[in-house]
Structure 1
Amino acid sequence: MKIAILGANGNVGSVLVEEALSRGYEVLALVKDKSNYNAKVGVEVKEVDALNKDTLVNGFKDAKIAVSAFGPKAGSENDLVVATRNLIDAAKEAKVDRFLAIGGAGSLFVSEGVTLANSGLLPEEWLPVVNAHVEALNVIKNETDLNWTVLRPSSFFQSGERTGKFKIGTDYLLVDSEGKSHISFQDYAVALFDEIDKGEFIKKAFTVGY
């Protein structure tokens, strides 16, 4: 089965490519500049621009599953919302079976009626991208004609070990026994591909953490 991964050269996207290959998927890496991407053996590469829907349609062509690991540049956080609309339209036009996106932890609840984004717990400089992820999720949630899934990471999201041991949640921020909310890129990738294999959260958002 062929899977298209947008942002395959990014911190998270590159880990998703590794996980996809380890599970036997055919990988189509979608990047903005092919000259800056060192593709692994067996990985097909296409140049796309997330802000240009037509390039995304071409990128998704022949793929059964489309995954977005698109991350906006600092100062251009609204690009995430624009890209999300393009991705939805492109996924439908290309007739992919499923569309999955990396979400943000900001939309997760930390207490009754209080999300991480409006909790006052986050540094001010994080809020533009946090709020962009919240808006992008709202755009996706309004989509009824696409089999979408959004996997939201925990609050601290960075490279680490692939343990295969984590918790799955839905709307609340997950924390470990010490009260820390975290997940590695590697275990996030495991959770995402477990969902691709099982299809338990179609047209739903969920989260992963330790």
Structure 2
Amino acid sequence: MKVAVLGATGPSGQAVVGEALSRGHDVLALVRNPDGMTVTHDKLQVHKIDLADEETVIPHMKGCDAVVSCIGSRPSFFSGITLYSDTIKVIASSMKKANVNRLVCMTSWGTKYTENEAWFMTYLLRPLLLRTVLADMSRMEDYIQAECQDINYTVVRPPGLTLNESTGKEIKTSDGQFVPNTRGSIPRKDVAKFILQCLETHDWDKKMVAITV
């Protein structure tokens, strides 16, 4: 499989790149700053793109079997965030023009409020730390559901991400905003394993899935 990874220089993107390479896939890291890509491998290509300009994206997506988006934004307390909702429009348009149909992208637990969500989400993360990030992730999810029905998408919603080694445990899943009665953190390497599982099976086609370990 040939996989294009967006956000490949970030910690989650690096985990996905590493996992994909370990499984023998060809990987295209499509990044804003190629100097930030420290991994080298004979199955890895690194290309500079601008996600504000799809003409820089389309040529590199041609011939790919799937696209994985690990694009992330730091929380902003003083202004709104539009990175997720802006870039998904370019990603989806570029995929369609390059004839790529498979997309997996990361968001988070709690992009929309639901009853019985974890207390730390209601009283800490949502109002204080991740308000603007979660709001824009929610807009991205809405766009995917409304405008990307001709794309085979999976939205992966992890809780808090860590740099720990993979737990080796089976991933717990839920089709809601969080996985009830479980821990609120997961190693990025475990998320990467689940993302590759999504690409290699049809279990999560056209679904939004919350995960944890």
The two structures have a TM-score, normalised by structure 2, of 0.87
3-state SS, counterpart of residue 35 of structure 2: helix
1:74 Cα offset (Å): 4.8
Q: Distance in 1 between matches of 2:99 and 2:118?
A: 34
Structure 1 residues 102, 172: closer, same or farther in 2, change over 3 A? closer
- Say if 2:128 is the partner of 1:124: yes
3-state SS, counterpart of residue 3 of structure 2: strand
CA contact (8 A) 1:175 1:209 kept: no
1:202 Cα offset (Å): 1.3
- Say if 2:150 is the partner of 1:145: yes
CA contact (8 A) 1:103 1:150 kept: yes
Q: Aligned residue for 2:82?
A: 78
The residue type equivalent to 1:24 in the other structure is: G
Q: Distance in 1 between matches of 2:82 and 2:119?
A: 19
3-state SS, counterpart of residue 151 of structure 1: strand
Residues 145-186 of structure 1: CA deviation (Å, up to 9, x unaligned): 1111110102x212112123131221141255xx53111101
CA contact (8 A) 2:183 2:212 kept: no
The runs of 5 or more residues in structure 1 that have no matched partner are none
CA contact (8 A) 2:33 2:48 kept: yes
Q: Distance in 1 between matches of 2:75 and 2:122?
A: 22
Q: Aligned residue for 1:162?
A: 166
1:115 Cα offset (Å): 9.0
TM-align CA RMSD = 2.3
Q: Aligned residue for 2:36?
A: 36
Q: 1:135 aligns with which of 124, 136, 139?
A: 139
Q: Aligned residue for 1:53?
A: 54
Q: Distance in 1 between matches of 2:153 and 2:120?
A: 23
1:3 Cα offset (Å): 0.4
The count of residues paired between Structure 1 and Structure 2 equals 206
Q: Aligned residue for 1:197?
A: 200
Residues 102-139 of structure 1: CA deviation (Å, up to 9, x unaligned): 11212266536x69898344242321111111111111
Q: Aligned residue for 1:27?
A: 27
Identity of aligned residues (%): 26
Structure 1 residues 109, 172: closer, same or farther in 2, change over 3 A? farther
Task: Tell which deviates more after alignment, 166-175 or 127-136.
Answer: 166-175
Q: Distance in 2 between matches of 1:97 and 1:183?
A: 28
The two structures have a TM-score, normalised by structure 1, of 0.88
- Say if 2:159 is the partner of 1:187: no
